[in-house]
Structure 1
Amino acid sequence: MTAKVMAAKPFSPKEVRRILDSLSRPAVFLHMTCDWPVLHWTANHLSNCLGQKNIRFRLGEKQATHTPLFETQCSYVEASLDQFLCWTSKGTGAEVGFFSGYPLSEYWAYADYKYIAMLFQDQPSMFEDVLWSDFGYPGRAGRESTLWIGTEGANTPCHQDTYGCNLVLQVQGRKRWTLFPPEDTACLYPCRIPYEESSVFSLVDVLQPDLRRFPAFTQARAHTVTLQPGQVLYVPRHWWHYVESVDPVTVSVNSWIELEVDDEARVNEAVTKAVVCALKTTPSKDNTDDWLNPTEEGVSSHGENLQCLNLAVQTCLQRRERSQGAEQERPEPAGGRGAKRDSSGQTRSGGGTTPLTIPFGPHLVPVPANQDSLPKTKGLDWEDGAPKSCMANPSKGQTPRVLSASGECGSGSDDYGSPGRDCDSGDAAEALGHAPITTNDLLECLVHPDVIAHVTELLLERQNRHNNA
């Protein structure tokens, strides 16, 4: 027999799906993709497939600033993968196209959010190179995936996906993932500027945090892993993550899976979008920043946003009503209701019955916590576990910082809070020695996840009373 016999996968699609449905912490699957054709998708291979087709690259400066570099603050160029690879090989001039204005020693580049269905719409056979059906999602392939190509240092700011979970296959090079559990949200100082419908960003540079402004970050529990080619990372819903390429050229494929029964999250997002768009589209001196993330299609009107909010609220109430009716008719099952997860990521069925054990081992590895190794921090003196002072060094001509009620160290300077703040509108406040409150300051409070969740419940209660009147 001359036919090549492939080694059996460590888990069947049914077993993987059961594991994914039970996992509440990030984990890496090994030896599951050895026969996937997509593993041949190196940057050179993709360059040959795409020819001279231009794609959009995001560029960021490599210099450390102790603040996240959001996508609204990056530069963008249209170039072919061939020009990109020439640039990464230190080519110059016309052969690198628009990359010629960005020295490789000073900039990183990232082609991110590239939908495979759009890139290869004239080569649909390539969709079948991605086999997410092995992970218990029959029919899911490249058409439902995105492609990410970057250089060393290319990164995605720390953020939380609001709707679903992620499966990420590393194809070429390595990427370092820094993840934080949903329970650490308050320690990550969430913000919605820049605004992206499905993401909440962190104001903290998680690798080099400024603890004078973000002291609660010391309580965040980082989990880190460097993903190798052929490995697949599972990122559960609402886990925060910062991603950075660590090799000269990296390629990865991502499948974002929207989870069902997330009605409250949809109402949360509809409320957030209505508030952000209403305030940021109102003309004012401090509304001159690029607040809409480049991944968003555009700004919808207030009327459109209210229509979406009404639809989300009614859908949520209707599903709640159907669920409550079904629950009343259904007899109580033996062992109690529902599944409960413990701190190890295992699922325990209600009533204390035998837990569903996650088969961690050589083929499935949990992403470890690294609480003993704090990330680099911007210079601080510490005393009894807290910063001794929030006063900048006066010998360097810096403005003294005042510790705010939220725990941040702020000043009237442009580096306090969200990017793009213009303090000219706060002349009266500055005259009194206070940092002015800007539109972005107000938004940080109004669209804080805890505030939005409370507003959602109030809206649902109000609308339910109205429907039953």
Structure 2
Amino acid sequence: MEVTDDVIRNLSTKASLPVVFRQFVKDWPICAWDEKKWTSVFGEKDIPFRCLKKSFVSDEPCWERRCQVKKMTFSTFLGVLNTSQEWMYFDYKYLHQWFSSDSELCKTISWKQFGYPDKGPADTTLWVGSQGAHTPAHQDTYGYNIVAQVHGRKRWLLFPPEAGGLKPTRVPYEESSVYSELNFYCPNDLDVFNGLTGGRSVELRAGDALLVPRGWWHYVQNLDPLNIALNVWLPHEKDNSTQISEALIKILIAQICKDLPQETAKLLVNPNEDDISDTPLAVLFLQLETVVKTYLDKKRKTRRVKRQKTREDNSTEPDIEEFDLKALLDNHKNKLEIVPTIASSDIVDLIKRNIREFVNNKVQDEDEVEAGTSSLCLTKAVIDSFSQSDVIDLVKQNLFARLG
């Protein structure tokens, strides 16, 4: 079987394992852009980079709250790449918020070859970072993810949704993100990584793409001095149900934050959620009402369609996921592969490599600002207990029963 737009779209909606598309986007013009070209594209924009010392060691992940935001031009960023003691990340930025629609960058972006001709710059996020810059291990509660690597190398560690030992937490809170309490960058304690199962690891190079199925945990780290990637999140049929879970959790977090000192409340949330305690309860309930109505309406419509289909035709559509995936993988011309598994001992070795590179023989900064969540022991435990997936599912079940 050969790769076509429709085949890739079918694969992306059905795949239950992460898939690498080797050199699938190498023909994108931006994969050939050098540093000089990227400098001209960014121009003199003041870009906010999230920064933290490379040698920072903590058993908690490097939460966004720990980082400083430093603004600089892309040219300045390039000038300090090889000398800075910090990693720097301009991450999770939608293209349309930073570049005009007629810019050269926006004109080059299309996800058509993945089967999504309607997805373009408005749906695309940009990630620009230095060596060591990373995203803490987390899972996205909405949709699934396609990533295109366009400059440098990036390592992905992935775990299935049901993986144990990752210690899920909603503190710091960010809608649609469930974080792991494990620090895969430079932790003090390596014992917590022993016995992790289900892990997969892949290194992406410029021209590669990666499909991250719904709910898969991922820790992502830049390996080269300059790293640039693009991604698009695509909706999943289960998103309507998840939106209800997120709305319920948001009500809980907001009300807890309202009655706490501001500095304490800030530790409970990521910076992009700082205004959560200012959101009126009426607005939060309106948001909940909206997603509940959407979910119930869609469920009723699905039942009607299913009943109608049963009356008209008793035959069922064959599930072609396994056939499609096997045929695609067997054709080596497609350059597709399932992300390889990785043993917990090899994960530990990767982390040790980080420590040797970024920490050993480096002077530690004793004045490092603490912005961790360890001081929120009871509050955090309450939030995580209420936010646990089986608890929220039970709340939703009771909610639907009472709403009829």
- Normalised by the length of structure 1, the TM-score is 0.74
How far has the Cα of 1:376 moved from its partner? Answer: 2.3
How big is the shift at 1:182?
0.5
**Structure 1 equivalent of residue 220 of structure 2:** 243
Q: Which has the higher helix share?
A: 2
Say which of 375, 394, 403 aligns to 2:347.
Answer: 375
Q: Is the 8 A contact 2:151 2:206 kept in 1?
A: yes
Structure 1 SS opposite 2:241: helix
Which residues in structure 2 correspond to 1:32-431 (within 5 Å)? 32-63=24-55, 64-90=57-83, 104=84, 106-121=85-100, 123-184=102-163, 186-206=164-184, 218-283=195-260, 287-296=264-273, 298-299=275-276, 300-331=279-310, 336=316, 339=319, 347=321, 357-361=326-330, 362=332, 363-371=335-343, 373-376=345-348, 419-422=372-375
Distance 1:463 1:29, change over 3 A: same
How many Å separate the matches in 2 of 1:34 and 1:337? 35
Q: CA deviation at 1:78?
A: 1.1
How many Å apart are 1:72 and its aligned residue? 1.5
Q: Matches of 2:345 and 2:114 in 1, distance apart? A: 33
Segments of structure 1 that go 5 or more residues without pairing to the other structure are: 1-8, 91-103, 340-345, 349-353, 378-414, 424-436, 465-469
Q: Output the CA distance in 2 between the equivalents of 1:67 and 1:376.
A: 16
Query: Residues of 1 paired with 2:389 and 2:148: CA distance?
Result: 30
Alpha-carbon deviation of 1:212?
8.9
Report the secondary structure of 1:120's partner residue.
coil
Shift of 1:43: 4.2
Percent identity among equivalent residues?
Answer: 30
Name which of 13, 21, 30 aligns with 1:29.
21
Q: Distance in 1 between matches of 2:274 and 2:383?
A: 21
1:213 shift after superposition:
8.9
Q: Does 1:19 align with 2:11?
A: yes
SS of the counterpart of 2:271?
coil
* Contact 2:266–2:274, Cα closer than 8 Å, also in 1: no
1:145/1:254 contact within 8 Å kept: yes
How far residue 374 of structure 1 moved from its aligned partner, in angstroms, is: 4.5
Q: Distance in 2 between matches of 1:295 and 1:39?
A: 30
Q: From the CA coordinates, give the structure whose radius of gyration is larger.
A: 1
- Other structure's SS at 2:162 match: helix
Deviation at 1:162, TM superposition (A): 0.7
- Return 5+ residue gaps in structure 2 as ranges: 350-369
List per-residue Cα deviations over 1:131-159 (Å, max 9, x = no partner): 31011001322332111111111000001
| In structure 2, distance between residues paired with 1:128 and 1:147 | 14
- TM-score (norm. length: structure 2): 0.85
3-state DSSP class of the match of 1:251?
strand
Instruction: Report what 1:351 is aligned to.
Output: none
Q: Secondary structure in 2 aligned to 1:373?
A: helix
Deviation by residue 1:263-316 (Cα, 9 ceiling, x = unmatched): 210100100111111112212599344333234473222221111112212221
Check the 8 A contact 2:199/2:344 in 1, yes or no. no
Residue 390 (structure 2) aligned to one of 430, 447, 450: 450
Give how far 1:130 is off: 1.8
Query: Quick one: structure 1 residues 153 and 318, their matched pair in 2 at CA, closer, same or farther if it must change by over 3 Å?
Result: same
Work out the CA distance in 2 between the residues paired with 1:125 and 1:285: 43
Retained in 2: the 8 A contact 1:194–1:292? yes
2: CA distance, partners of 1:264 / 1:322: 15
Paired residues of 2:153 and 2:204 also in contact (CA < 8 A): yes
Q: Distance in 1 between matches of 2:72 and 2:102?
A: 20
**Comparing 250-259 with 231-240, which one deviates more in the overlay?**
250-259
Q: Per the alignment, do residues 360 and 122 of structure 1 end up closer, same or farther by CA in structure 2, a change over 3 Å counting?
A: closer
User: Could you tell me whether the CA contact under 8 Å between 2:11 and 2:324 is conserved in 1?
Assistant: no
1:122 shift after superposition: 6.3
Q: CA deviation at 1:444?
A: 1.4
Aligned to 1:397: none
Identify if the C-alpha distance between structure 1 residues 302 and 42 changes in structure 2 by more than 3 Å, giving closer, same or farther: farther
Shift of 1:457: 1.5
For the 8 Å contact 1:42–1:171, the answer to whether it is kept is no
Do 1:58 and 1:111's aligned partners in 2 also have CA atoms closer than 8 Å? Answer: yes
Deviates more, 1:52-61 or 1:365-374: 365-374
Choose between structure 1 and 2 for higher RCO, CA contacts under 8 A separated by at least 6 residues: 2
- Give, as a single letter, the amino acid of the residue that structure 1 aligns with 2:59: H
Give the direction of change, closer, same or farther, for the CA distance of 1:62–1:34 in structure 2 (3 Å limit): closer
Aligned partners of 1:68, 1:136: CA distance in 2, in Å? Answer: 36
Q: CA deviation at 1:127?
A: 1.6
Give the Å deviation of 1:372.
Answer: 5.8
Task: Report the residue type matching 1:282 in the other structure.
Answer: D
**Offset at 1:198?**
1.6
| 8 Å CA contact 1:148, 1:251 repeated in 2 | yes
Q: Could you say what secondary structure the match of 1:323 adopts? A: helix
Deviation at 1:338, TM superposition (A): 7.4
Provide the rounded CA distance (Å) in 2 between the counterparts of 1:126 and 1:288.
39
Classify the secondary structure of the residue corresponding to 1:360. helix
Q: How many residues align?
A: 380
Residues 139 and 355 (structure 1), Cα distance of their counterparts in 2 relative to 1, 3 Å cut:
closer
